[in-house]
Structure 1
Amino acid sequence: MGRRDIFSDVAAILHPVPQQSDPDQEDHEGFLAWREEVAHDQERTAESLRLAWDEGEQDPLIGALAAARRAKEEAEQQIRELLAYGREFVQPRPYTLGDLAAAAGMSISGVRTAYGHRDVDSVVEATGAKPREWRVPDEGEAPK
């Protein structure tokens, strides 16, 4: 393992080395290859963080946190669009609120209010699909 510093520590957090629960597992060779790949990812990330720091671009921890926040926001947007797709586009019947809630780790009422017209429009743009007749009310629009 390389020297410990903020660059290698942040890289280790971003690319945790997998632990095998059963060493007698059938695909032990595949597991070892996976661990080696993760170790290389750590090294590349640490070097990239070092380079960005040396060039005065960004602090490694602050940069990693900002990137994680962006990834979280993108994942939340993707969840909203998938929920919109499941409720507004799937024919002949949409997915149930209960099934979507369980898959998304949300409450049924959370699914019901999780997406809006912009999310539906994003699904239209991404897929070319046409939503069902009924659509969630626009923000500020009273439910009918």
Structure 2
Amino acid sequence: MHPIEELAALRNPMPEPDTVTPEDCYADACDQVLEQRKNDALGLEAAGEELKTDPLLLALDDLKAKKEAVDAQIRQLLAWGREFHGSRPYGLEELARRAGYGISGVRTAYGDTEIRQVAAQIGRQPNRPRRESTKGGR
């Protein structure tokens, strides 16, 4: 297998048997992954040539950007759960467990920036005034 095809295989893993429902769709799911791998390999190769960058480094850059986007979404969801949800905010312990943070991590995960982003996205202000933070608004 060519190195770019190997990268595409790592980025698009085959489903494990017994993980596709209904079971008779397993072959179709495998075919879809093979098609994704082919398209991913072509994209990596083209981007690598155009940018004159190693495809592995491009793949890592891509995953890093996705990870940063997911982290930003988690911070926004935590802000919503603590600042915008109903008459009582979600508890720190539950949010910490679900987000993979410690309790103090939830408290510091979001700041004024995330609160402003959430307010803009949902079209309303937080339910309760925010205490002055020493963070300076993330």
TM-score normalised by structure 2 residue count: 0.88
Report if the CA contact (8 A) 2:111-2:135 is conserved.
no
Using the TM superposition, give the Cα deviation of residue 139 of structure 1 relative to its aligned residue in structure 2, in angstroms: 4.3
Q: Does 1:13 align with 2:25?
A: no
Cα RMSD (Å) of the superposition? 1.9
Q: Does 1:122 align with 2:117?
A: yes
Using the TM superposition, give the Cα deviation of residue 26 of structure 1 relative to its aligned residue in structure 2, in angstroms: 6.5
Report the 3-state secondary structure (helix = DSSP H, G, I; strand = E; otherwise coil) of the residue aligned with 1:55: helix
Match of 2:102 in 1: 107
Please, which runs of 5 or more residues in structure 2 have no aligned partner?
A: none
Report if the CA contact (8 A) 1:117-1:136 is conserved.
no
Using the TM superposition, give the Cα deviation of residue 74 of structure 1 relative to its aligned residue in structure 2, in angstroms: 0.6
Q: Could you list the per-position Cα deviations for residues 44-71 of structure 1 after superposition, in whole angstroms to 9, with x for gaps in the alignment?
A: 1001112223334432101010111111
Q: Distance in 2 between matches of 1:41 and 1:67?
A: 16
Structure in which a larger fraction of residues adopt helix: 2
Q: Distance in 2 between matches of 1:26 and 1:131?
A: 41
Match of 1:43 in 2: 38
Report if the CA contact (8 A) 2:79-2:114 is conserved.
yes
Question: Within 5 Å, which residues of 2 pair with 1:66-85?
Answer: 66-85=61-80
TM-score normalised by structure 1 residue count: 0.85
Q: Could you list the per-position Cα deviations for residues 55-114 of structure 1 after superposition, in whole angstroms to 9, with x for gaps in the alignment?
A: 344321010101111111111110000000000000111111111111101111111111
- Distance of aligned partners of 1:26 and 1:119 in 2 relative to their CA distance in 1, 3 Å threshold: closer
Report the 3-state secondary structure (helix = DSSP H, G, I; strand = E; otherwise coil) of the residue aligned with 2:17: coil
- Distance of aligned partners of 1:138 and 1:83 in 2 relative to their CA distance in 1, 3 Å threshold: same
Q: Distance in 2 between matches of 1:69 and 1:132?
A: 33
Q: Distance in 1 between matches of 2:135 and 2:48?
A: 45
Report if the CA contact (8 A) 2:87-2:127 is conserved.
no
Please, which runs of 5 or more residues in structure 1 have no aligned partner?
A: none
Q: Distance in 2 between matches of 1:20 and 1:79?
A: 31
Report if the CA contact (8 A) 2:48-2:58 is conserved.
no
